[in-house]
A and B are shown apart, each in its own frame.
Chain A
């Protein structure tokens, strides 16, 4: 398998405060990598840094080419879909408009239509709510919408920021099941940030553990999962 995304010595700053102190990891083509760690470890910041949404240093290499310094919009157009923390719903737009805006940059109408059908197949509930204002959806539905928006971009890489956040366990299971399907069917590599380590390790093939802006541990998911020390010291379960 080839590497689709490589992050080298990534540093990030909020104003004067440094939030990442040189994070390096890679994501394999078609793989799912998860970033784990406690609150404030820098997981969300890493995703933001990849999309150049914070001030960064270091390098991000996508399919062999550096994308560092490019505007967020341009990075997205290269094939990144970032499902942001808090879902990023366009609350005053309808569900339909939310999906259409995600396909704004694509000109291939047939492919967009295909992806829309695919979205509705994954999340039939969204089809029922198509004309509803997105702000009125439930949390789980908004998360589905957020993933759907990401899919409508036709991405090569999906960056998912805590898709389980604030959702009921059943809904979380459903969403993770669909993420697995998306990964295999849509051939989309995923970088997953999660608080719920057990869940994330089940889905992912590789895991990196962050602590205060540094990678402190990494390895294949099942190794990390079965290492009691890591589990106890960093993942807390």
Chain B
């Protein structure tokens, strides 16, 4: 029982990461209807920036915040320079561009920092942090940081005029323009914020999964699963979905483990993580495409 609790709680820590990436995906999706396949690699790149800054002598938190700022500017630039000309392009072109971005981020990181796995420090004090036995200090810190970031974003979108303008631009770009909102900049800003949130996820998870150019592959897939489960058009739902798949992932491994122990039959374990994510993605997409908390979107033809 205690083990089960542990699995659930540590699932929440993973879920926090998924929630961040899922939120980043949703931010771009609601405003452009694009699914950013490069989100994970962008986050990985941000994490390398933080790592590099620390190599140059910066402390964790300064590196963390600088990496976030750089990512914000980077995301903004990518939207303005690369995606802006493609606003009316067919879906295939846009998907291809995202895959191109993914490949570029991955290979640049590989060539600049090599594909060797690197350790990434944790900023959270080992002794005083965490709840004894239930959750480790780093995991506890991750959940905390995530909650802070998500709350800040919530306040920003809910209570500031700029946040309102971004929501308006995402919801009805034509009307937003007619209200004097510079919609193109709102999209770019959305990209910047998404990249920044991704940077938070990357720098938080790197201590757990270690730093390497392929570190975000599985995480991105789980973030997709979370975003879809919660409803890819609903930021709150996507965050919840992220936490849910985090817990689900651990539960599946736990149950698989339990079955193996009691019956001696291996059915499912850590090796099938991505398959589990695949099943979630396809099931949600086919059974309930709007997700658990999403709105049903009626498509114009």
Contacts and interface: CB of A to CB of B under 8 A. Distances in A.
A104 B161 CA distance: 7
10 contacts: A73-B177, A76-B177, A76-B179, A88-B174, A92-B171, A97-B164, A97-B168, A101-B168, A104-B168, A149-B175
A152 to B, nearest CB: 8
B180 A89 contact: no
A88 B164 contact: no
Contacts of A90: 168, 171-172, 175-176
A91 B172 contact: yes
Interface in A70-128: 71-73, 76-77, 81-82, 84, 88-93, 97, 100-102, 104-105
Contact of B179 (A91, A92, A102): A102
A105 B179 contact: yes
B181 interface: yes
Given A90-B168, A97-B164, A104 B179 contact: yes
Interface of A: 51, 53, 71-73, 76-77, 81-82, 84, 88-93, 97, 100-102, 104-105, 149, 153
A102 B172 CA distance: 13
B167 interface: yes
A77 B175 CA distance: 14
Closest 8 CB pairs of A and B: A88-B175, A105-B180, A76-B180, A101-B168, A72-B177, A82-B178, A77-B180, A102-B179
Nearest to A100: B164
Interface residues of B, number: 18
A90 B176 CA distance: 8
Interface string B168-195: 1001101111111111000000000000
B90 to A, nearest CB: 15
Which secondary structure dominates chain A's binding surface?
A: loop
A73 B183 CA distance: 8
A73 B180 contact: yes
A76 B183 CA distance: 13
Nearest to A51: B178
Given A90-B168, A93-B167, A101 B181 contact: yes
Contacts of B177: 53, 72-73, 76
A93 B174 contact: no
Nearest to A48: B174
Contact of B174 (A77, A81, A84, A149): A84
B180 A91 contact: no
A79 B172 CA distance: 21
Contacts of B172: 88-91
Contacts of A101: 164-165, 168, 176, 179, 181
A76 B179 CA distance: 7
Nearest to A105: B180
Contacts of A82: 178
Given A104-B165, A104-B180, 19 more contacts: A53-B177, A73-B182, A73-B183, A84-B174, A88-B174, A88-B178, A89-B175, A90-B168, A90-B172, A90-B176, A91-B171, A91-B172, A97-B168, A101-B168, A101-B181, A104-B161, A104-B164, A104-B168, A153-B179
Central interface residue in B167, B172, B178, B183, by most chain A CB within 10 Å: B178
B65 to A, nearest CB: 29
Contacts of B178: 51, 72, 76, 81-82, 84, 88
B175 A104 contact: no
Interface string B238-275: 00000000000000000000000000000000000000
Contacts of A91: 171-172
B157 to A, nearest CB: 11
Nearest to A101: B168
A149 B180 CA distance: 11
B55 to A, nearest CB: 43
B29 to A, nearest CB: 14
Contacts of B175: 84, 88-90, 149
Contacts of A97: 164, 167-168
Interface string B21-41: 000000000000000000000
B166 to A, nearest CB: 10
Contacts of B295: 92
Contacts of B164: 93, 97, 100-101, 104
A149 B171 contact: no
B180 A100 contact: no
Contacts of B174: 53, 84, 88
Contacts of A149: 175, 179
